[in-house]
Amino acid sequence: MSTSFRSAASAELASAALAGTEAKSDIRKHRNTLAIAFITGLRRSELIEAQQYHSGANSVTRKQANPYYHSPAPTSKHKRVIEPQEPHRPSAHPVQHPVQQRKGSGASARKRILIVSSTLHTGGAERIVACLARHLDRERFDVTVCYLKESGVVGEEIERHGTPLVPVPGLVPGAVDRFTWWKLRRLIRAGAFELIHTHDVHGLMDGVACKLLVRGVKHVHTFHWGNYPERETRYRKIERLVWRVPDRLIAVGHRQADAIRQLYSIPPARLKVIWNGVDTLSPQIAPEVLAITSKTSDPVLASISTMIEQKGLHDLLQAAHLLKNDGASFQLLVIGDGHLRPKLEELAKELGIQDRVHFLGWITQASERALPACDIFVQSSLWEAMSVVVLEAMARGKPIVATRVGDNEHMIEDGVSGRLVSKSDPRALADALGELLRDSAQRERLGAAAKARHGALFTTRHMIEAHEALYESLLA
């Protein structure tokens, strides 16, 4: 985009913002991709490509991987306490927006926080959004969650726990919308939100635009991607150009933070590390898990993940093959789904381990309905930032064998509170698992140490208090 063209878009947006009008006909001349390009200096084609990814191809992949996906239904009212509902059905009509500015001395004393995510499907980042929404102190913060594209199983959970959940105004389910940044701006103004907290690249782009167009609003952004410096070119360009705009940046792990700082030349003080945190609920084992565990006396291994390349599940199956050849007795539960599932099931047959490996698909609330039934939790990932499911296994007091990626080394003390092995090394993974399969006393010791370490460092309360302190410092 030429400088003069960018300047023209700048002047038009600034004029519309100062006048306080929607100016839809004028803004649609350049669309929101040009507006963000003005803000960031990106070429129009790069922004269109990035937004089309978030609006189209990515959602198809997520829906294929997660059968609990649903599109948002039209709604005219959201209450703070919402009973569980049937899954939403897609609609051809725009979703009606329910947020109104709250008034009154009780409400005005609380800080208005808007947590923004592109989608709310099953995933580590989405779990953290739900945790923040549920546990932030309601005496100090009035919290709303907004999704820019699609809700999902995590969105349902957020509603069940009583946090207002809203779509970006005028959302048409399934439609490509390059105006979400402008609609988010309307939402921020209508709801008198004082701080927005974004959790993905789509949210980052829209949040940056709103930060520049809405006077006084604070912007916090959390990086959840765990494989820096490896990053798709379009996302790397966006993050490199806009990181200076948010008031605070958060990384969820120390390795991740170091890689981000080096990649984008971010001063250490600008990027704060806040570890993820989780707690546990009472176990309620799923019937499909009980159907397997109740019929065997063998130790049960469990893996919980989306079936994508990142998770290294080919290595896990190779390790299971080696364990079987070594004469180990075990059953392996592979919980999750994704585009690799047919290939993984075929690999299990080729390796002759189909009698030991059970592909169970997605199990909702797997940390309560599957994880408690296992004897050893195993993670074979090729990369992570800070794994939520490893934290859930620690909280359950499970002995863990995981790859030495991301902040796993900060979470697990090798030989003390779990076992760490090199990634992409099925033999090392099999050896560590085999040692624990043979030694029940070591399993108990590692599990107890993992639970104690979780309680000391990685609870929900640790994470929430760090976020509350950050919000307070920005809004003081």
pLDDT tens-digit map of 99-130: 555 444 455 589 999 999 999 988 889 999 99
Q: How confident is the model at residue 88 (pLDDT cuts 50, 70, 90)?
A: very low
pLDDT tens digits along 383-414: 999 999 999 999 999 999 999 999 999 999 99
pLDDT of res. 97: 52
pLDDT at 248 over 80: yes
| CA 229 – CA 299 distance, rounded (Å) | 38
> Could you tell me the pLDDT band of residue 293, with boundaries at 50, 70 and 90?
very high
Q: Which two tokens stand for residue 326?
A: 């070594």
Residues in a beta bridge with 333: 302, 358
pLDDT in tens, 249-258: 999 999 999 9
- Cβ 190 vs Cβ 101: under 8 Å: yes
pLDDT of residue 5 exceeding 50, the answer is no
Residue 157 has pLDDT above 50, yes or no: yes
pLDDT > 90: percent of the chain: 74
Question: Exposure string (b/e) for 270-301, b if CB count within 10 Å is 16 or more?
Answer: ebebbbbbbbbeeeebbeebeeebeeeeebbb
Most confident residue range from 36-50, 64-78, 429-443: 429-443
pLDDT category of residue 280 using cuts at 50, 70 and 90: confident
pTM of the full structure: 0.79
Whether the predicted pLDDT of 9 surpasses 90: no
Q: For 64-89, what is the mean pLDDT?
A: 37
pLDDT at res. 86 = 36
Angle at 190 between CA 134 and CA 86, to 5 degrees: 45
Helix (H, G, I), strand (E, B) or coil at 99: coil
Bond prior to 229 in cis (omega within 30° of 0): yes
Task: Give tens-digit pLDDT for 201-233.
Answer: 999 999 999 999 999 999 999 999 999 999 999
Please give the Cα distance from 474 to 248 (Å, whole number).
9
pLDDT band at 175 (very low <50, low <70, confident <90, very high): confident
User: What domains, with CATH codes, occur in the chain?
Assistant: 3-73+111-277+464-475 (3.40.50.2000), 287-458 (3.40.50.2000)
Q: Is 84 within 8 Å of 160 (Cβ atoms)? A: yes
| Lowest model confidence (mean pLDDT) among 47-56, 141-150, 373-382, 464-473 | 47-56
pLDDT for res 316 = 98
Span 290-312, average pLDDT: 97
The CA distance from 429 to 455, in Å, is 27
Q: Where are the alpha helices (DSSP H) in 117-232?
A: 124-135, 153-160, 180-191, 201-213
Q: What is the distance between the alpha carbons of residues 211 and 218, in angstroms, rounded to a whole number?
A: 7
How far apart are the C-alpha atoms of 369 and 276, rounded to whole Å?
Answer: 21
Torsion 429-309-253-143 (CA) sign: negative
The predicted pLDDT at position 122 comes to 81
pLDDT attached to residue 23: 38
User: How sure is the predictor about 72, in pLDDT bands with cuts at 50, 70 and 90?
Assistant: very low
For 17-21, 176-180, 430-434, which range has the lowest pLDDT when averaged over its residues? 17-21
Write down the mean pLDDT value for the chain.
84
Contact (Cβ atoms closer than 8 angstroms) between residue 434 and residue 413: no
Q: What local confidence, expressed as pLDDT, does residue 36 receive?
A: 53
Which pLDDT score is estimated for 60? 42
Tokens standing for residue 155: 């969105």
Q: What's the pLDDT at 123?
A: 85
